[in-house]
Structure 1
Amino acid sequence: MSQKMENGHDDGQTGVDTFDILIVGAGISGINTAHHVQKSLPHLRYAILEGRSAIGGTWDLFRYPGIRSDTDLPTFAFAWNPWRESQCVAGGASIANYLRQSAALEGIDRHILFEHRVVSASWSSQSQRWQLVVQAPGRTVSLEARFVVLGSGYYDYEEPLSPQIPGLYENFKGTIVHPQFWPEDLDYAGKRIVVIGSGATAITLLPSLAIKARHVTMLQRSPTYIMTIDNTLGNSWYHKVLPRSWSYWVDRMFFMVMINVSYHCCRAFPTQARRSLQSAVAKQLPPNIPLDPHFTPLYQPWDQRVCFTPDGDFFEAMRRGKASVATGRIKTTTATQIVLTSGQEIDADIVVTATDLNLKIGGRIRFSLDGEPIDLADRFTWRTTLLQDVPNLGFMMGYNGFRTVVPRVPRGSHMQRQSVWNVDAAYVREAQSQIPRCGDVGPWRGRSIYAIDRMRAAYGSITRDLEFV
Structure 2
Amino acid sequence: MTHGWDAPDVATKGLTDLPERVDVLVIGAGLSGIGAAYRIAELNPEVSYVVLEGREATGGTWDLFRYPGVRSDSDMYTLSLPFYPWTDESSIADGDRIRDYLRRAARDTGVAERIHTGCPVVAMSWSTDEQVWTLRIEGEGGTRELRARWVHVGAGYYDYDEPHNAGFVGVEDFAGQVVHPQHWPDDLSLAGKRVLVIGSGATAVSLVPAAAQEAASVTMLQRTPSYVFGVPGRDALVDRLRGLGLSAWRAGRVGTAKNVAMQGFLYRLSRVRPAAAKKVILGGLRRELPEAVIQEHFTPPYDVWDQRLCAVRDGDLFEAICTGAVEIVTGHVDRFEAKGVRLTDGRLLEADVIVTATGLRLKALGGIAVSVDGEEQDLARTFAYRGVMLSGVPNLSMTVGYINASWTLRADLVSRYVARMLRHLRGHGYGVAVPVAPPGMRAGPVLDVTSGYVQRAVGSFPKVGDREPWTIAQSYTRERWSFGRADLSADMTFIPTGQSGASLPSGASAPATLDLPGSSSNTDGSLGDQVVEVTA
The TM-score, its normalising length taken from structure 2, stands at 0.82
Q: 1:258 aligns with which of 243, 258, 262?
A: 262
Equivalent position SS for 1:403: strand
* C-alpha deviation, 1:334, in angstroms: 1.2
| Match status 1:434 vs 2:437 | no
Give 1:39's aligned residue: 42
How far the C-alpha of 1:181 sits from its partner, in A, is: 0.6
CA contact (8 A) 2:266 2:277 kept: no
Classify the secondary structure of the residue corresponding to 1:404: strand
Q: Contact (CA 8 Å) 2:92, 2:232: kept in 1 or not?
A: no
| Aligned residues of 2:69 and 2:206 also touching (Cα < 8 A) | yes
Q: List aligned pairs for 1:229-308, cutoff 5 A.
A: 229-233=231-235, 234-237=238-241, 239-285=243-289, 290-308=293-311
What CA deviation, in whole Å up to 9, does each residue of 1:188-210 have, x standing for no partner?
Answer: 21111111111100101100111
In structure 2, what is the equivalent of residue 14 of structure 1?
none
Q: 2:317 pairs with 314, 319, 344, which one?
A: 314
Q: Match of 2:165? A: 162
Choose the corresponding residue for 1:408, options 425, 430, 436.
Answer: 436
Contact in 1 for aligned 2:333/2:342 (Cα 8 Å): yes
**Alpha-carbon deviation of 1:246?**
1.9
Deviation at 1:434, TM superposition (A): 3.0
Aligned CA distance change for structure 1 residues 253 and 19 (closer, same or farther; 3 Å): same
Q: Which residue of 1 aligns with 2:415?
A: none
- Give the counterpart letter for 1:405 in structure 2: A
The Cα shift of 1:438 comes to 0.9
User: Helix, strand or coil for the counterpart of 2:91?
Assistant: coil
2:218 partner amino acid: V
Q: Which residue number in structure 1 is paired with residue 350 of structure 2?
A: 347
Range that drifts further, 231-240 or 350-359: 231-240
The one-character-per-residue Cα deviations of 1:13-69 (angstroms, maximum 9, x if unpaired) are xxxx11000001101111001111111000000000111222201101111111111
Among candidates 69, 91, 95, match of residue 92 of structure 1:
95
* Matching of residues 64-143 of structure 1 within 5 Å: 64-143=67-146
Q: Distance in 2 between matches of 1:244 and 1:204?
A: 27
Amino acid at match of 1:94: R
Between the aligned partners of 1:29 and 1:237, the Cα distance in structure 2 is 29
Instruction: Report the equivalent of 1:175.
Output: 177
* Alpha-carbon contact 2:87-2:248 (below 8 Å) kept: no
Instruction: Work out the CA distance in 1 between the residues paired with 2:477 and 2:466.
Output: 19
Amino acid at match of 2:461: I
Using the alignment, how far apart are the partners of 1:452 and 1:70 within structure 2?
Answer: 23
What is the CA distance between 1:96 and its match in structure 2?
0.6
SS class of match (1:359) = coil
Match of 1:196 in 2: 198
Give me the whole-angstrom Cα distance separating, in 2, the residues matched to 1:280 and 1:248: 25
Range with greater deviation from structure 2 (357-366 or 391-400)? 391-400
Following the alignment from structure 1 to structure 2, what is the Cα–Cα distance between the partners of residues 232 and 338?
38
* Structure 1 residue 239 displacement after superposition: 4.9
The 10-residue stretch of structure 1 (366-375 or 56-65) with the greater mean CA deviation from structure 2: 366-375
State the percentage of identical aligned residues. 39
Distance 2:336 2:140 in 1: 42
Which deviates the most, 382-391 or 186-195?
A: 186-195
Question: What amino acid sits opposite 1:60 in the alignment?
Answer: D
Give distance in 1, aligned partners of 2:242 and 2:178.
Answer: 48
Matched letter for residue 128 of structure 1? Q
Q: Judge which range, 88-97 or 253-262, deviates more.
A: 253-262
- What code does the residue aligned with 1:272 have? A
Q: Is the 1:193–1:349 Cα contact (8 Å) retained in structure 2?
A: yes
Q: Displacement, 1:266? A: 3.0
**Which whole-Å CA distance do the structure 2 matches of 1:61 and 1:458 have between them?**
33
Write the distance in 2 (CA, Å) between the matches of 1:153 and 1:428: 13
For the pair 1:359 / 2:385, whether they are aligned, the reply is no
Corresponding residue for residue 61 of structure 2: 58
CA offsets 1:419-448 (integer angstroms, 9 cap, x no match): 112211111111123322111111111231
8 Å Cα contact 1:359-1:435 kept in structure 2: no
1:454 is aligned to 2:480: yes
In structure 1, the residue corresponding to 2:355 is in which secondary structure?
Answer: strand
The runs of 5 or more residues in structure 2 that have no matched partner are 1-11, 399-417, 496-536
- How far did 1:286 drift? 5.7
Q: Gapped runs of 5+ residues in structure 1? A: 10-16
CA contact (8 A) 1:194 1:348 kept: yes
- How much does 1:317 deviate? 1.2
Contact 1:388–1:409, Cα closer than 8 Å, also in 2: yes
| SS, match of residue 477 in structure 2 | helix
Aligned residues: 456
Contact 1:66 1:205 in 2 (8 A): yes
Distance (whole Å) between structure 2 residues aligned to residue 415 and residue 459 of structure 1: 23
